[in-house]
Structure 1
Amino acid sequence: MAASDVTVGVIFLAQIFVGSLGNSSLLLHFLVLDFTGGRVRHTDLILKHLTVANLLTLLCRGVPQTVAALGMKVFLSDLECKLLFYVHRVGRSVSIGSTCLLSSFQAITISPGDSRWAALKEKALRYMCSSTRLNWILYGLLNVMFPVVMTGNWSHRNITCLKDFGYCSAARHDTTTDSLFAALLSFPDAVCVGLMLWSSSSMVYILHRHKQRMQHVHKVRSPKSSPEPPKPSSSW
């Protein structure tokens, strides 16, 4: 085994350990709050789904990729390869979608009462639970093609044109089909990234305006400096 493969495997293993530890701790914190009846914020529901999606992505992609980097190429069956790759893709997509929901909800929440987004505050709270569920369903259906094209490295099923991922392989099709498939998978991610950019820019703008208003109020309320009274002359 080459030293570079061992180095890559150790780096992957460290990332899996740190990422899994952080997300597991955060998920455990939310579960403790649920069982103890602690104070729960509105965004905690989205964060729960985000931590679960991150854990699925780390484990289903990081573990087999680490094993493959350490030199073991053929260790997954055809069914295991399909299942792991599908769960990884769903977890990755849900992670992006949950981050988009979180940033959009935060932007709507901090919007001032006289803005056009003020009417969405109550609706955002009402539809938060259904939005997180729809996120899983949508990406679960969108990535259903991956179990069809994925196959284990030991079971190529007479497929000559394959794309090797190290521990799994994917059947290649014609250029038009591959391009349409890539566009279909990339479109929701592009929409989420666009919404995240919009919400982040909106939050920066709202906070900047709030800071300017507070500075103006502070200047108006601060007492004006009065001139220093003259010193009394000393009498002899």
Structure 2
Amino acid sequence: MDGLVFADLNWAIVFLTQTSIGILGNSFLFCLYNFSLLTARGLRLIDVILIQLFLANNLVLFSKGIPQTIAAFGLKDFLEETGCKIVFYLHRVARGVTLSTTCLLSGFQAMTICPTISGYMESKIKSLKCLAFCCFLCWILNLLINIHNIMNVSGPNNSRNMSIHNMYRYCSAPVAKGFTFTLLAMLYVLTDWTFLGLMAWASGSMVLLLHRHRQRVQHLHSQSLSPRTSHEARAECTVLILVSMFVSFYFLAASLSLWKTQALSPSPRLMSISVLLSLGFPTFSPFVFLFSDTHIYQFCFVIWARKTNISTFVSGV
């Protein structure tokens, strides 16, 4: 018993650390890009997509990371049935929005650098209204797809004399069977693989375009490349890293979830590792931008310079 408690405490610390780091990283970039968007200083249309991505990441961490941490610390039955419904529904919606937004991000980046897109289409793609509408569709689509979770999820003590699949160690839901299971499985597989397929197409297009661009300029000295070309290549590489990270965490988490559902009594360690993998992308994706997006450094430098000038002026007065 002591070993089990010690193991749960270790997992609780891991969940707490991962969730805290992810929330801090996403919140910082969410506020930074929002401030940039509202003040229109260094405004980029891609920032609209990134703001939604950071928001969805935080929702995933709040709806799954925090409850899992609380359960690992030993607090049981802290959510009533209504709380379980809201938390699980928000998690599923946020997870879907993260997937669709990452797909939108990679598609937007691929289309903006594609030389075959006409001027009319380019103006539509680079329209703020078009991007806002696509972001809105991401939320509406996932809100509708996951509506059944509100009816199926129940509290930990409400088994309703049915086969129960435990979630997070504190919520439960009847295991779908027959036609319902087939319908839900097809719905999730169709939506997930559609977005993953579009993501793969966009990433492949970017890799091909980067390769062709490198072949065209390989005879030139690196110093002759314009800053614009350098920034565009850096942005494309950032999106490619982000997509690769998402796909890796997605397939690892999906494989482990499938293994977990097939097991009659999955071990607590297996369930904890599954949670870690499902929270991997929301936790680490903001740091890809922190270390690669020069726009962040430029924006922070401007704020720091203005603060320094104001302090110097006040001290001089």
**TM-score, reference length from structure 2:** 0.65
Pairwise CA distance, 1:117: 6.7
1:180 aligns with 2:183: yes
Once structures 1 and 2 are overlaid, which stretch shifts more, 72-81 or 17-26?
A: 72-81
Structure 2: 5+ residue stretches without partners: 222-317
Q: Which amino acid aligns with 1:111?
A: C
Pairwise CA distance, 1:177: 1.7
1:12 aligns with 2:18: no
Q: Could you say if the C-alpha distance between residues 35 and 121 of structure 1 is closer, same or farther in structure 2, counting changes exceeding 3 Å? A: closer
Structure 1: 5+ residue stretches without partners: 219-236
Once structures 1 and 2 are overlaid, which stretch shifts more, 89-98 or 169-178?
A: 169-178
Over aligned residues, Cα RMSD in angstroms?
Answer: 1.8
Q: Which amino acid aligns with 1:62?
A: G
Pairwise CA distance, 1:189: 1.3
Tell me the residue number matched to 1:141.
144
Tell me the residue number matched to 1:23.
26
Identity %: 39
Pairwise CA distance, 1:72: 2.2
Tell me the residue number matched to 1:160.
162
Select which of 84, 95, 98 maps to 2:98: 95
Q: Which amino acid aligns with 1:164?
A: N
Aligned partner of residue 218 in structure 2, secondary structure: helix
Q: Looking at secondary structure, tell me which structure has more helix per residue.
A: 2
> Matches of residues 63-78 of structure 1 in structure 2 within 5 Å?
63-78=66-81
Q: Deviations over 1:54-74 (max 9, x none)?
A: 000000111111111222231
Q: Which amino acid aligns with 1:7?
A: N
Distance 1:78 1:94 in 2: 24
Aligned partner of residue 104 in structure 1, secondary structure: helix
Query: Does the CA contact (< 8 Å) of 1:111 and 1:118 recur in 2?
Result: no
Q: Deviations over 1:91-142 (max 9, x none)?
A: 1100110000000000001112xx2576532222232111000110011001
Distance 2:117 2:49 in 1: 24
Query: Does the CA contact (< 8 Å) of 2:152 and 2:174 recur in 1?
Result: yes
Select which of 184, 191, 195 maps to 1:192: 195
Count of residues paired in the alignment = 216
Q: Which amino acid aligns with 2:75?
A: M
**TM-score, reference length from structure 1:** 0.86
Q: Deviations over 1:22-64 (max 9, x none)?
A: 0000011022223433111010000111111000000011111
Query: Does the CA contact (< 8 Å) of 2:37 and 2:47 recur in 1?
Result: no
Q: Which amino acid aligns with 1:58?
A: L
Aligned partner of residue 173 in structure 2, secondary structure: strand
